[in-house]
């Protein structure tokens, strides 16, 4: 038996061996750092028994996969501790998440945040016991006995509907769970953990099922990593877009319209700058801007498939006694625009872009500032093209996405989301073809990606853009969806070069995702200190003395010059002390705070401080005007937003 390790090192073993022992034979330090392994690209526990030739790669603690495994093991650790304190607890699902883990469970007594210390104490006790974590394959009949008091595990087994199927189960001391794994080798590996929050949820996310308690937590291999993460969490609280939005006069929410945000004056400036940037970007890339109606007939939504697949999220009304719906998506509108004319193959691709207002019913408990709303503007585009144009068009799109996210200093990765298991339209063969097209395009362009099984839209697979902000969070806003269903359902066509009618392919595409959510994301990403081109207030001019006529005249001259250049500027005339006015300018995240005193008046200069910088600079009147003008025109991130205190 030959095992090939990383860097093509090979070693022969005469008999069956565990992955851990195989690594140890190569390097004891490598085995010590390993959390799990890849065996021929499949993740396995260190205890996995190798019986055939294979490639073996260690998953070490410095790899992201290792942290995911630790998170999953910490979910089991928390569940075991809860089972000791609440013996009647029933456990549903407990996965790892991007930054930690959660477990959904039900107990007869209520669990609150106040109970976290005693749960953590029990978790630490189990960690100190260093219990081995072992995987076993069991039959469904064995599972029924092991989990006889676990309602949700029994439901899961019954859904498999295969008595001969072997189940993967993990055992640690007196706790067991159905799980594919892998896991760390023992509870002692989980060195640092913290329970974070608690919420309600429904079993399998269905409101018709049991209401459960969801407990969130996180875990790290080192205490210092945990401490750093907890510090970031505190920083995130300070950067909450709802808090910043109120302070900066961006938006408001009202009980008269839950989930329907009101845009305030400064928020409208920010929003319009984003929209203007978006429109210019699309015109530059050969898109046509359209606008479709907000309310359309039931018949249209039945043809599109939304009525049967999305009706519960739609707002429905009647016009002339006929059922209509407020649109939850923009795509049928773009389809009707395309169908308004006959098209030749020479015209394709046709690119329709729309800042479309849509409405979707969200549960009241899910509403969250601008992140989760009931009315929002999608930055949609719908591209109709020939099948042979897909690869080239996807390449064009990838360049546009990269340009936009770079503009906002956002790093990202891509996930390919495939056909949902149940709610989808069209033939599976068509889905397979569409998924293959997207995957081949990513491979041909050497773009790293990962598969997100079953998370596609009901009409087609998609590419999801997941980007990371300055607070180390992952967001999914942008998407590219390949659709071979809706053109068929609406009988769209173009005349090919042989004179015959063909069905076009459709690409649904959004970069921001929605204006509302994107504003919420970048507000927290920039901590309210937006790049100058986006900032609601770009310059505030502060005379040292509001009683000095020369200072006021000079300040007004500068302000008028900036206003004539469409730079958002104002003079602070208030009879307050200079430090107070300066500090407020920084608090309100004004890009340039300008101080005008006697020396500036006499020398025709401007002394200013850029938000995020501690030092002040002095330039001539014209040089300052040119500087701020160029800063805005560049549309670049020119400040550092990692600063813990931008006002120091």
| Lookup: tokens for 488 | 């068929």
| Bond preceding residue 349 cis, omega within 30 of 0 | yes
Residue 220, SS3? strand
CB-based burial of residue 434 (10 Å sphere; 0-12 exposed, 13-18 middle, 19+ buried)?
buried
Which of 501, 502, 494 has the alpha carbon at shortest distance from 342?
494
Whole-number Cα distances in Å, 178 to 144, 152, 157, 158, 644: 11, 11, 9, 13, 43
Q: Are 84 and 119 in contact (CB under 8 A)?
A: no
**Helices (H), ranges, 174-264:** 223-238, 241-247
d(CA 190, CA 403): 41
For 499, left (φ over 0), alpha (ψ -120 to 50), or beta?
Answer: left
CB 539 within 8 A of CB 507: no
Q: Tell me the C-alpha distance between 350 and 290, whole Å.
A: 12
Q: Is residue 488 left, alpha or beta, with left meaning phi > 0 and alpha meaning psi from -120 to 50?
A: alpha
- Taking each helix axis as running N to C, give the angle between helix 390-407 and helix 265-284, from 0 to 180 degrees, rounded to the nearest 10: 140
Q: Pinpoint the alpha helices (H) of 134-264.
A: 140-146, 151-160, 223-238, 241-247
Contacts of 164 (CB under 8 A, 6+ apart): 139
- Report the run of H or E that residue 494 belongs to, with start and end: strand 494-495
Cβ atoms within 10 A of the Cβ of 323, count?
14
| Residues taking part in catalysis | 331, 360, 378, 380, 382, 462, 508
- Whether the bond into 297 is cis, omega within 30 of 0: no
Q: What are phi and psi of 324, to 5 degrees?
A: -130, 165
Helix (H, G, I), strand (E, B) or coil at 454: coil
Contact indicator for 534, 274 with CB cutoff of 8 Å: yes
Measure the CA–CA gap between 7 and 241, rounded to whole angstroms.
46
In sequence order, which residues have a C-beta less than 8 Å from that of residue 15 and are 6 or more positions away? 1
Dihedral angle at the C-alpha atoms of 91, 96, 97, 102, nearest 10 degrees?
30
Q: What are phi and psi of 442, to 5 degrees?
A: -65, -40
């Amino acid at each position: 038996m030959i095992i090939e390790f990383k860097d093509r090192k090979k070693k022969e073993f005469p008999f069956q061996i565990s992955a851990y022992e195989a690594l140890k034979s190569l390097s004891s330090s490598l085995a010590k750092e390993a959390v799990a392994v890849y065996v021929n690209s499949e993740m396995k526990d260190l205890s996995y028994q190798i019986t055939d030739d294979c490639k073996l790669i260690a998953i070490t603690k410095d790899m992201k996969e290792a942290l995911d495994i630790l998170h999953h093991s910490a979910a089991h650790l928390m569940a075991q501790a809860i089972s000791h304190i609440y013996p009647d607890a029933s456990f549903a699902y407990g996965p790892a998440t991007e930054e930690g883990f959660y477990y959904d469970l039900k107990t007869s007594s209520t669990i609150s945040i106040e109970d976290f210390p005693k749960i953590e104490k029990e978790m630490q006790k189990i960690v100190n016991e260093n219990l081995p974590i072992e995987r076993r394959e069991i039959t469904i009949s064995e599972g029924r006995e092991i989990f006889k008091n676990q309602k949700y595990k029994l439901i899961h087994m019954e859904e498999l509907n295969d008595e001969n199927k072997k189940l993967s189960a993990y055992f640690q001391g007196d706790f067991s769970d159905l799980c594919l794994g892998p896991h760390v080798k023992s509870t002692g590996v989980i060195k640092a953990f913290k329970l974070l929050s608690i919420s309600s949820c429904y079993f399998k996310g269905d409101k018709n099922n049991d209401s459960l308690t969801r407990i969130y937590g996180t875990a790290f291999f080192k205490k210092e990593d945990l401490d750093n993460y907890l510090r970031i969490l505190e920083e995130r609280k300070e950067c909450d877009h709802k808090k910043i939005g109120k302070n900066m006069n961006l938006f408001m929410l009202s009980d008269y319209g839950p989930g329907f945000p009101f845009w305030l004056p400064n928020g409208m400036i920010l929003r319009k700058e984003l929209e203007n940037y978006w429109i210019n970007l699309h015109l530059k890339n050969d898109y046509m801007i359209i606008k479709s109606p907000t309310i359309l007939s039931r018949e249209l939504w039945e043809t599109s498939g939304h009525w049967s697949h999305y009706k519960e999220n739609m707002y429905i009304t009647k016009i002339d006694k006929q059922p209509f719906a407020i649109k939850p998506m923009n795509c049928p509108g773009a389809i009707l625009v395309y169908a308004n004319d006959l098209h030749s193959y020479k015209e394709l691709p046709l690119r329709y872009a729309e800042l479309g207002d849509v409405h979707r019913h969200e549960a009241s408990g899910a509403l969250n500032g601008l992140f989760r709303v009931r009315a929002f503007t999608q930055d949609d585009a719908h591209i109709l093209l020939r099948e042979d144009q897909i690869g080239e068009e996807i390449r064009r799109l990838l360049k546009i996405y990269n340009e936009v996210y770079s503009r906002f200093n956002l790093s990202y990765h891509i996930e390919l989301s495939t056909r949902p298991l149940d709610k989808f339209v069209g033939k599976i063969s068509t889905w397979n073809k569409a998924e293959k097209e997207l995957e081949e395009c990513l491979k041909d362009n050497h773009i790293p990606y990962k598969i997100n099984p079953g998370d596609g839209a009901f009409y087609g697979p998609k590419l999801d853009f997941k980007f990371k902000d300055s607070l180390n969070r992952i967001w999914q806003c942008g998407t590219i969806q390949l659709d071979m269903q809706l053109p068929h359902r609406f009988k769209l066509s173009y005349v090919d070069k042989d004179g015959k009618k063909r069905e076009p392919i459709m690409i649904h595409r959004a970069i921001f995702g929605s204006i509302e959510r994107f504003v919420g994301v970048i507000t927290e990403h920039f901590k309210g200190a937006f790049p100058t081109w986006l900032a609601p207030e770009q310059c505030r001019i502060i005379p040292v003395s509001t009683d000095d006529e020369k200072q006021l005249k000079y300040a007004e001259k500068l302000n008028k010059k900036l206003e004539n250049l469409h730079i958002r500027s104002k003079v602070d005339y208030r009879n307050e002390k200079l430090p107070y006015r300066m500090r407020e300018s920084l608090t309100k995240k004004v890009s340039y705070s300008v101080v005008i005193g006697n020396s500036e008046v006499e020398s025709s200069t401007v002394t200013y401080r850029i938000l995020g910088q501690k030092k002040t600079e002095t330039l001539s009147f014209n040089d300052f005007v040119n500087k701020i003008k160029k800063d805005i025109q560049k549309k670049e991130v020119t400040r550092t937003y990692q600063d813990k205190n931008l006002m120091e």
